[in-house]
Amino acid sequence: MTERVRVREMFPPGHIRTPFYLRGKTGEVERVLGPFGVPEQLAYGLTANREKLYRVRFTMREVWGEAAENPDDTLDAEIFAHWLIPAED
Amino acid sequence: MPHDHHDHDHDTPHSHTGMSSSGHPYRQDQDEPLTYWQNMEIAVRELLIEKGITTELEVMRQIDQMDNRSPADGAKVVARAWSDTAFRARLLEDATTATREMGFDIGALQLIAVENTDSVHNVIVCTLCSCYPRNLLGLPPDWYKQRAYRSRVVKAPRKVLAEFGLVLPDDVTVRVHDSTADMRYIVIPARPAGTEGLSLAELEKLVSRDSMIGVALATAPE
């Protein structure tokens, strides 16, 4: 069974590798990778937490809504664990 | 009679204004002052050399190594995947290890290979910067790093692909891969029809850089 996750809709300052356009969006975990050092800490020379990295697959319908070019096409991105919460649906 | 310096310049071979003898405009010399980051790069490099951490020669060798990487390396991986089903399976399972066994080390990064089929077409982008599988494809093309490609291919991939001359049927799902963190991606294009019996060297010639980014298909044999 595929795991559904939601990207946290938060906007902290700093070096962040969670794209703006995916914040608040829900997708399915395509595969789990890592652990890797967290970029928010690595970018500032801090000792980085190591976290799982999720490849999350979003539908274009979910990302762009009515403006989607083809709603069933998909977008995959790598999102660190602390940016994800279980999807509520 | 007053000397018309401007016209004279245009006629001499040493003029750096106007058009060159090949009919192209001369390029300006780069006499601007260094930017903050150019100064920073030089300062850090000189410090590292002074402290014996690296040498000029090592820096040049590293640049040379990067310049010598090319899409021909990626094409070897694709041709082998087309020809060797066990390798193809290992590549799709763990591309970092499978490409390392061919001598292509990606260093601290990891590689994911995504395969085009009759029903799926993959395309790669890095919306946040310009992450690219440099160890297999060499330096990225300029358009890959530009905002137009990065911002548009995630929103209207079919339109962008059409601008590259690739029009996909509606029953093919487009999968865009945004390289947002530690993974790098290579597209394994679908093997063209009529290539049965071709050697690895012949197959490699059908695999372009753009087909491994996903903005083109592999070339059909002549």
Catalytic residues of B: 126, 129-131
- State how far the Cα of B45 lies from the Cα of B37, in Å rounded to an integer: 12
**Interface predicted TM-score (ipTM):** 0.96
Domains of chain A: 4-86 (2.30.30.50)
Query: B63 and B73: one domain?
Result: no
Contact A78 B128 (CB under 8 A): no
B100 touches chain A (CB under 8 A): no
pLDDT computed for residue B14 by the predictor:
55
- State how far the Cα of B182 lies from the Cα of A50, in Å rounded to an integer: 12
Minimum Cα–Cα distance from B179: chain A residue:
A77
Q: Assess whether pLDDT exceeds 60 at residue A17.
A: yes
pLDDT computed for residue B8 by the predictor:
44
Q: Tokens 């080390």 map to which residue?
A: B105
Average pLDDT over residues A47-61: 97
Query: B92 and B58: one domain?
Result: no
Q: What residues of A are in contact with residue B175 (Cβ under 8 Å)?
A: 57, 73-76
- pLDDT tens-place string over residues B82-118: 999 999 999 999 999 999 999 998 888 899 999 999 9
Cα-Cα-Cα-Cα dihedral sign, residues B77, B79, B85, B89: positive
Query: B63 and B80: one domain?
Result: no
Confidence of residue B19 (pLDDT cuts 50, 70, 90): confident
Q: Assess whether pLDDT exceeds 80 at residue B7.
A: no
Which DSSP helix (H) or strand (E) runs through B83?
Answer: helix B71-83
Residues 179-218, chain B, touching A (beta carbon < 8 A): 179-183
B170 touches chain A (CB under 8 A): yes
Confidence of residue B220 (pLDDT cuts 50, 70, 90): very high
- How many degrees, rounded to 5, is the angle at CA B144 between CA B103 and CA B34? 95
Q: Assess whether pLDDT exceeds 60 at residue B44.
A: yes
Query: B94 and B56: one domain?
Result: no
One-character DSSP codes across B106-163: -TTSEEEEEE--SSEEEEEE-SSS----HHHH-SPPHHHHSHHHHHHTTT-HHHHHHH
Residue B26 lies in a domain: no
Tell me the residue range of the domain where B50 lies. 36-67
Report yes or no: B111 and B48 within 8 Å, Cβ to Cβ: no
> Mean pLDDT of all residues in chain B?
92
**CATH for B86:** 3.90.330.10
Report yes or no: B166 and B214 within 8 Å, Cβ to Cβ: no
**Both structure tokens of B178:** 């945004």
* Best CA proximity match to A81, nearest among A43, A42, A35: A35
